[in-house]
Amino acid sequence: MLKVGLIGIGFMGRGHLDIYMQLAEEGHPVELVAICDIDEDKFQGKFLPGNIDVGNQKYDFSKYNLYTDIDEMLEKEELDYVDIALPTYLHAEATIKALNKGIHVLCEKPMALNPDECQAMIDAAEANGKKLMIAQCLRFWPEYEYLKKCVDNGEYGKVVSGYFFRGGTTPKWSYNNWLLKKEKSGGVLLDQHVHDVDTINWLFGTPRKVSTVARNVFPESGYDAVSTNYIYDNMVINAQDDWTINSTDFGFEMTFRVNFEKATLIYEKGKLTVYPHGEESFTPELEEGSGYYREIRYFIDALLNDTPIETADPYSTMETIRIANAEAESADRQGEFVEL
């Protein structure tokens, strides 16, 4: 039985908490034994909602050992791994602390604010012989997995072009408003757009160069809307993100359109459709479960079976941060190309 400590029960942390409750109901050999959050009000059920439907249950916190200090939790608890769902600027510090205690780490995205912090996390994992995985959930999202399979197996030929978008309401629900502070979250580019940066890296590898245009709307947030062109030899790839869509009923949307030589795949409003050229469209059969659930199951299985972290290898997710940092540099230079 794996014993787990969850660090952070803000928006995404509560989503992870729901999954551990589900895994316990399903009889999986994993037990959430401890929760740590600096904000004691959360243990009283005082939460702010986010823009997607995760972590909205009522919780009985009496079944867990509760902490407001990470060091105290790591000292007192005998844990197999910790699940870190803290603000981005704390990822490296908390991850390294846990690894140095001999504890495996699953850490929320983005990996960290810059490649140096990412490398320090990897170094700590390797020095202590422990597993480290970053929860880049789209690598486990069934529709994106199907896209990955089509890219890799060449069933529809080579990719001609691709467009990725995500956007929604401004994230005003975070603790002390950390999401809207550039030095803590990296703004929309590192917090939200990083999903599509990671997807493009995972699907196609590192681009030769990037050009990003972006706009700042909120005073301390950095960039709040971005559009990046990724330069590859034989593909036209673009990704956009905007967290200023503040209609009362928009919520959140993520989409992609990838055109192959023999088909086009479009994912929108939660549905993937394949449009084979010259044939009728169809909806493919997909794996069950959300990306959030499946990434945690993957990490648990890797620990139980002592198998390597391949789907979200930390060197690969570090490369995502290097690409995202290049995009920020390009945006700072009004869209000038930055080579990678």
Whether residue 128 is found in the same domain as residue 154? no
Q: What is the number of structural domains in the chain?
A: 2
- 212 and 143, same structural domain? yes
User: 114 with 263, same domain?
Assistant: no
Bridge partner residues of 65 (DSSP) = 34
Does residue 200 form part of some domain? Answer: yes
pLDDT digits (tens, 9 = 90+) for 278-309: 999 999 999 999 999 999 999 999 999 999 99
* pLDDT of amino acid 46: 77
Mean residue pLDDT of the chain comes to 96
pLDDT band at 215 (very low <50, low <70, confident <90, very high): very high
CATH number at residue 124: 3.40.50.720
User: What is the percent of the chain where pLDDT is above 70?
Assistant: 97
Q: How far is CA 241 from CA 5, 196, 238, in A?
A: 32, 9, 11
Please check whether residues 176 and 236 belong to one and the same domain: yes
Query: pLDDT tens digits for 153-193?
Result: 999 999 999 999 999 999 998 889 999 999 999 999 999 99
| Residue 203 banded pLDDT, cuts 50, 70, 90 | very high
Give the tokens for residue 10. Answer: 């803000």
What does each C-alpha distance from 153 to 31, 110, 156, 283, 292 come to in angstroms?
Answer: 38, 28, 8, 19, 25
Pairing status of strand 263-268 against strand 132-135: unpaired
- Looking at 76, 100, 135, which one is the last position of a domain? 135
Query: Residue 54: its pLDDT value, please?
Result: 58
Percentage, residues of the chain above pLDDT 90 = 92
pLDDT digits (tens, 9 = 90+) for 45-65: 877 665 555 555 679 999 999
Assess whether 153 and 204 both reside in one domain: yes
What range defines the domain where residue 6 resides?
Answer: 2-135
272/144 same-domain check: yes
Q: Note whether 180 and 329 are same-domain residues.
A: yes
Number of H helices, E strands in the chain: 10, 14
Q: What is the pTM of this model?
A: 0.96
What is the dihedral sign for C-alpha 213, 143, 304, 54?
A: positive
Same domain, 127 and 158: no
Give the pLDDT confidence score for residue 47 in this predicted structure: 72
The mean pLDDT of 312-339, rounded to a whole number, is: 98
Report the alpha-carbon distance of residue 269 to residue 271 in Å, rounded: 6
Res 53: pLDDT: 56
Shared domain for 126 and 264, answered yes or no, is no
Please write the tens of the pLDDT for every residue from 5-15. Answer: 999 999 899 99
| Mean of pLDDT values over 254-270 | 98
The yes-or-no verdict on residue 229 having pLDDT over 70 is: yes
pLDDT 10s digits, 118-161: 999 999 999 999 999 999 999 999 999 999 999 999 999 999 99
Comparing 248 with 217, the larger pLDDT belongs to 217
At 189, is the secondary structure helix, strand, or coil?
Answer: helix
